[in-house]
């Protein structure tokens, strides 16, 4: 086919968290080096103390006695008295400091509620590696990367905090965005006796075979590894697709540094390079390169494009394994109703790839069996917020489930925009949503206090 057929035009109907690229153990050392550098940068905005707690590798076995150190961040600046509310963030698929620095809403309301802030890291991410540099070595080490184990980590950490006399009767309000939002909602459903309320944001319920062309792309686009064969081209196209989806997700109305340093409304900035419909061949690909540079090299500091990782700042090295086990999210395209090449969902083929890569078979119904899907009528004290600019909103809870399990819609909101810090360019809908968040948090704390007074 002609050269320009490799172009996949912009933006997606569904967001794939973290990426489809597979990160093996050989990336571990580079990942840890990047992590330390990023943490040094991130530590500037919000201050916290870094602590660890011993956790069992397997919470549900009496025979597996291995333990590891789970990392969490703590800030008690605004706690003024005993039994202060505990605002607890359920960590996502990445190092916890990234999410602490991008969840400004918790920091903004902590003084109002005189709350203790806790950001818990998800096992197998950041520095919470159960088996150190062997954590991703094989299935015997990696098999404990599940949402059930992660939730049990968070419960143990809360119970540990509440074992201190000053927090014995503290109400716990849990926050989470994206995958972290899924965890926070599941935590309330599975452990309603542990937490009092949840603020859950943005959850989700062509060939190019000409050698000369590959050489041109490798050089002109400054790829870290040159394109040599059909598999490399397939990876290149997947890389572009990831970037397009990422742009749709983080289309914030102001400059931001989540996933990558970006200008305000990055989608608009990208589209300015793609206004000439008559371009073809290398001219078209040059324009596309300038466009994606908004995401890949906005600061002009990137020396080459690493096709193995379209979002290095997230450090989501374990997500491909999770998506091969319990976090199975059917995503497809038909090339007619979307802007991508036809790619039908095929669970059998997907399973074969997972077995080949990790020796595991996806359990596509496990999440529904564990936490519920179609019937969530028993859910209480949860706010499901979704921004309609966010592609993930198509799979979110968009209607109230009960009088206390509420759906909040943010028409101009990108991915968990409401959990980010306030900005002058915030749309009114997100400002209003945060007012609702405060209202429900106050209600949950009040209900808990009244219940505690009756018992003690």
User: Catalytic site residue 278?
Assistant: no
| Pair 127, 182 in one domain | yes
Query: Has residue 31 got a pLDDT over 60?
Result: no
Same domain, 334 and 222: no
Residue 137 has pLDDT above 50, yes or no: yes
Residue 127, pLDDT above cutoff 50: yes
Shared domain check, 145 and 69:
yes
The Cα–Cα gap between 319 and 327 comes to 9
Express each pLDDT in 346-384 by its tens digit. Answer: 999 999 999 999 999 999 989 988 998 888 888 999 999
On whether both 170 and 242 belong to a single domain, the answer is: no
Q: Is residue 15 included in any domain, yes or no?
A: no
| Domain boundary pick from 143, 169, 203 | 203
pTM of the model: 0.78
Q: Which of 208, 250, 249, 231 lies closest to 307, judged by CA?
A: 231
Q: Which long-range contacts (CB under 8 A, 24 or more apart) does 227-231 make?
A: none
Based on the domain organization, do 49 and 125 belong to the same domain?
yes
What 3-state DSSP class applies to 384?
A: strand
Model confidence at 40: pLDDT above 60: no
Whole-number Å distance between alpha carbons of 226 and 431: 46
What does the alpha-carbon distance between residue 414 and residue 406 come to, in Å, rounded to a whole number? Answer: 19
Do 188 and 155 share a structural domain? yes
Q: Which residue in the list 390, 418, 426, 437 is annotated as catalytic? A: 390
Q: Which of 415, 416, 418, 437 is catalytic?
A: 415
Phi and psi for 354 in degrees, rounded to 5?
Answer: -70, -40
Catalytic entry in 178, 310, 333, 385: 178
Residues 346 and 397 grouped into a single domain? no
Helices 211-220/281-296 angle, 10° precision: 40
Residue tagged 């309301």 (tokens): 109
Residues 6+ apart with CB under 8 A from 335: 341, 342
Q: Identify the domain boundary among 171, 203, 235.
A: 203
Instruction: Determine the structural domain holding residue 273 and report its residue range.
Output: 208-314
Residue 172, classified by CB atoms within 10 Å of its CB into exposed (0-12), middle (13-18) or buried (19+), is buried
Q: With respect to residue 290, please indicate whether it lies within any of the assigned structural domains.
A: yes
User: CB of 326 within 8 A of CB of 244?
Assistant: no
Domain tally, the chain: 4
CATH label of the domain that carries residue 263: 1.20.120.980
- Contact in structure between 67 and 55 (CB atoms under 8 Å): yes
338 and 383 in a single domain? The answer is no
| 49 and 194 both lie in a single domain | yes
Residues 323 and 248 in one domain: no
Which are the contacts of 224, defined by CB distance < 8 A and separation ≥ 6?
Answer: 304, 305, 306, 307
Convert the pLDDT of each residue in 270-304 to its tens digit.
999 999 988 888 888 899 999 999 998 898 888 88
Residue where the block lists tokens 């070595």: 137
Question: What are the tens digits of pLDDT across the range 378-405?
Answer: 899 999 999 998 888 888 889 999 889 9
Per-residue pLDDT at 330: 85
Whether 103 is in a domain gets the answer yes
At 293, which helix (H) or strand (E)?
Answer: helix 281-296
Is 47 a domain residue? yes
Q: Which of 203, 237, 257 is the last residue of a domain?
A: 203
Q: Taking 90 as the threshold, does the pLDDT of residue 246 lie above it?
A: no
Give the model's confidence band at 120: pLDDT under 50 very low, under 70 low, under 90 confident, else very high. very high
456: confidence class by pLDDT, cuts 50, 70, 90:
low
Concerning whether 415 is annotated as a catalytic residue, the answer is yes
Q: Do 305 and 349 share a structural domain?
A: no
Are 176 and 259 within one domain? no
């Amino acid at each position: 086919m002609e050269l320009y057929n490799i172009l996949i035009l912009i933006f997606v109907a569904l967001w794939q968290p973290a990426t489809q690229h597979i990160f093996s153990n050989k990336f571990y050392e580079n990942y840890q080096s990047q992590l330390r550098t990023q943490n040094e940068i991130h530590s500037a905005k919000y201050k916290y103390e870094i602590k660890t707690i011993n956790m069992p590798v397997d919470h549900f076995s009496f025979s597996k006695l291995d333990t590891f150190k789970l990392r969490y961040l703590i800030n008690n600046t605004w706690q003024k008295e005993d039994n202060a509310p505990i605002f607890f963030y359920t960590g996502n698929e990445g190092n916890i400091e990234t999410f602490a620095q991008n969840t400004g809403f918790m920091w903004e309301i902590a003084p109002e509620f005189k709350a203790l802030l806790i950001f818990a890291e998800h096992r197998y991410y950041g520095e919470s590696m159960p088996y150190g540099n062997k954590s991703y070595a094989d299935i015997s080490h990696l098999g404990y990367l599940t949402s059930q184990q992660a939730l049990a980590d968070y419960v143990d950490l809360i119970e540990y905090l509440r074992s201190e006399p000053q927090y014995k009767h503290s109400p716990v309000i849990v926050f989470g965005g994206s995958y972290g939002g899924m965890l926070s909602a599941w935590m309330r459903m599975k452990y309603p006796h542990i937490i009092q309320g949840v603020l859950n944001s943005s959850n989700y319920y062509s060939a190019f075979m000409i050698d000369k062309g590959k050489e041109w792309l490798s050089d002109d686009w400054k790829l870290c590894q040159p394109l040599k064969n059909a598999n490399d081209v397939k990876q290149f196209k997947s890389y572009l697709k990831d970037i397009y989806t990422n742009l749709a997700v983080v289309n914030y109305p102001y400059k931001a540094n989540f996933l990558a340093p970006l200008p305000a409304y990055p989608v608009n900035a990208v589209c300015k390079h793609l206004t000439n419909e008559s371009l073809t061949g290398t001219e078209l690909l040059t324009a596309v390169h300038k466009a994606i540079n908004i995401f890949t090299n906005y600061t002009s500091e990137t020396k080459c494009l690493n096709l193995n990782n379209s979002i290095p700042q997230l450090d989501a090295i374990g997500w491909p394994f999770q998506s091969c086990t319990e976090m199975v999210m059917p995503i497809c395209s038909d090339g007619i109703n979307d802007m991508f090449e036809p790619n039908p969902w095929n669970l059998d083929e997907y399973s074969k790839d997972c077995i080949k890569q990790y020796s595991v078979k996806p359990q596509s119904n496990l999440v529904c069996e564990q936490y519920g899907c179609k019937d969530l009528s028993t859910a209480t004290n949860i706010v499901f917020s979704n921004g309609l600019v966010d592609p993930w909103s198509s799979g979110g809870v968009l209607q109230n489930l009960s009088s206390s399990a509420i759906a909040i819609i943010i028409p101009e909101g990108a991915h968990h925009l409401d959990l980010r810090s306030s900005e002058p360019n915030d749309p009114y809908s997100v400002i209003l949503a945060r007012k609702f968040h405060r209202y429900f948090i106050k209600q949950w704390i009040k209900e808990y206090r009244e219940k505690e007074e009756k018992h003690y």
